[in-house]
Chains A and B, each alone.
Chain A
Amino acid sequence: MLTALKHKHLLGIADLSPEEIVLVLDTAEAMKEVGQRTIKKVPTLRGRTVINLFFEPSTRTRTSFEIAEKRLSADTLNVAIASSSVVKGETLVDTAMNLEAMAPSMIVLRHASSGAGHLLSRICKAAIVNAGDGMHEHPTQALLDAFTIRERKGRLAGLKIAIVGDLLHSRVLRSNVLLLTKLGADVWVCAPATLIPPGLREMGVTVTTRVDDAVEGADVIMMLRIQLERMQGAYFPSQREYFRTFGMTEARVARAKTDCIIMHPGPINRGVEIASEVADGEQSVILDQVANGVAVRMAVLYLLAGGADHETVT
């Protein structure tokens, strides 16, 4: 049985085998149990330094990683763009080499450029965890989404999963499509024609512009955030029109299975891509996703640090 990840870094779901994905999800179950204890701390990463290097604002993801690191007893520090040298004109490579010189075990990186993690992985000894790179991937988000689905549905294979929203600019979409297709889900993706990237069909998903078709009989509806600045790129005419044609309303949810769950990686735009009644409704698991994010990130950090091979260190 698999007990560790093959790659030193987690740059994207593209690099993970189905077995490795299942290993992360199984490990996350044990980590979730830690989070339910009164004393939510294990010594697994004691003495290891983890740097959260965030070049984009993030509340949810950065907090989630930080809590995960603290629960694993790692020494953590946050380097945010406002307090970094980048504003002084330092390059990403120089910033990384300086941090690297202080010998961290891991760097959790959030960056606006796709492939920023790949660049760092070529110059750093530290393991790089991609916490979102441009429009490329957000692997821990897809892992926590899969964990949440599996927790509710008991499986991923064979489920109809509808992903609706800005497919073109979404790193969450790319990671989720890669992960869910690897585990055998029936993935439908839906967006206005202006927000569908080329080559999606070849990734093994059904592409549609008709939201009713996407959600029909679905087990899972996953909404993606619509960035309001997209209107300037003429991707769609108005928030009002977007909500009319693609917004997730109770009427649309009614076309899905009665036990369909509603997901969203956040932050949500109420009344743009999702109605408040749906976001706050009984089928919504949006806050479960947030809760599970900590467990999944603990699992990722634990496995990248060596997993069971290093557990003897107490």
Chain B
Amino acid sequence: MKRLLKGGRVVDPVNGRDGIFDLLIDGDRIAEVGTNLKADGAEVINIPAGLVVCPGLIDMHVHLREPGQEHKETVATGVASAVAGGFTAVACMPNTRPVNDNAGVTKLILQKAAEANLARVYPIGAVSRGQKGEELADIAELKEAGCVAVTDDGLPVATARLARRALEYTSMFNMPVIEHCEDQTLKGDGVAHEGPVAASLGLRGIPGVAEAITAGRDILLAEMTGGHIHIAHMSAWTTIEAVRQGKSRGVKVTCEVCPHHFTLTDDLLAAPVAYDTNTKMNPPLREARDRDAMIAGLVDGTVDVISTDHAPHHYDEKNVEFDRAPFGIVGLETAVPITLDKLVHTGLITLSRMVELMSVNPARILNVPGGSLSPGAPADVTILALDLPVTVDKTKLVSKSKNTPFHGWSFRGGVAATIVGGRTVYTNPAAGLK
């Protein structure tokens, strides 16, 4: 079956397109992009002005919680949340229970994803068996089962030696090692960014350099081994500086930033709701200097990817003392509104750059299909509604968990529809798309 998306603004940086084009989908593939394409029996979908057709967005850092913590999220609820947020694919972290360190868990996740049949799911395996930081997991087996990268996310790869081995070993499979950078001895039992806000609230601090130290270690190891290190969820200005230096030396290092780290600062821990546990995540919200460095890196090209670090937690788990609450916030359904509002509409980045950050580069880093609207590519398409007013209401989130610090925030821009493999899996009734 053919579908013709007619007359919309198409933003497809891989093919150098940003203009009014028609997009023809044939079955689950992109057939053609051009002007005045003939319907020729295809179902015609007219794209109104203000909507943008782009390659499907890919979130390379989410926690789907299944197996083991289905009260927070399942693969099914997670991918439903993803498509509602405009993502056609997500890569899920291995810190499930049990850990995704073997083909059995990987296959379970893929099976649940196939049953849900919404967004594509790319499992990420553990670097070390049980994420214990002692010996490598069976990475070849993980790759064969469908894993696209390895990480011990939630924790850093425990030692420099193991990080070295992981970088060497994965280089055989063209897989990146994704690193949660955080020197555990400096983190200690910290729960918030170490700075004046945490000091005045009496919260134990996690200094920014705890992140940069591990990033620095891994960038040096990537340089030595020729492996590919991907620095996850950067939060500190010193980390982005380390990445910038590594890139200038030609190291295979890529990196990502989450919307909360380019939008919020630790002031949010004190007001409007003091000790709100939905402001607690790891890495923590940091200071204006750090937040501004994330924006600068997004603008100057240092940052490769915007990911969400979607980390659902049950209300009961968050409704506790700040230092006892788990780290993390949901992010799949707020990433597009925040990015459009804070980066695109402010003129900091172009729509093309946003598509690079949220589609082209994640696909390239994970070596997965997608990231372009080239003929023959999977028909994974996100339609953005540039000026749609969006007010975040946590009670309306599709995700099973509601732990967002953005409840009540209003943004300009949202998602109109999400198409996966040629099939419309999400339509936002407010966006005016028929």
Contacts and interface: CB of A to CB of B under 8 A. Distances in A.
Interface of A: 14, 91-93, 111, 113-116, 118-119, 122, 133-137, 171, 174, 197-200, 202-203, 233
B320 A91 contact: yes
B199 A198 contact: yes
17 contacts: A91-B319, A91-B320, A92-B320, A113-B323, A114-B322, A114-B323, A115-B274, A115-B275, A115-B321, A116-B321, A119-B275, A119-B321, A122-B273, A174-B200, A174-B202, A198-B196, A198-B205
A215 B409 CA distance: 50
A202 B274 CA distance: 20
Contact of A197 (B188, B199, B323): B199
A116 to B, nearest CB: 5
Interface string B301-332: 00000000000000010011111100000000
Interface residues of B, number: 22
Contact of A199 (B200, B203, B316, B319): B200
Nearest to A133: B202
Contact of B321 (A92, A197, A198, A233): A92
Most chain B beta-carbon contacts within 10 A, residue among A114, A118, A137, A171: A114
Nearest to B191: A114
A127 B380 CA distance: 55
B196 A135 contact: no
Interface residue SS majority, chain B: loop
B320 A114 contact: no
Contacts of A137: 202
B269 to A, nearest CB: 9
Given A198-B195, A199-B195, A199-B196, A115 B201 contact: yes
B394 interface: no
**Residue among B196, B202, B323 with max Cβ neighbours from chain A (10 Å):** B202
Interface in B263-279: 273-275
Contacts of B274: 115, 118
B194 A198 contact: yes
A93 B202 contact: no
B165 interface: no
A93 B195 CA distance: 28
A91 B316 CA distance: 9
B322 to A, nearest CB: 5
Nearest to B322: A115
Contact of A114 (B195, B203, B316): B203
B199 A114 contact: no
Given A115-B201, A174-B202, A197-B199, A134 B275 contact: no
Contacts of A233: 188
A198 B195 CA distance: 5
B324 A113 contact: yes
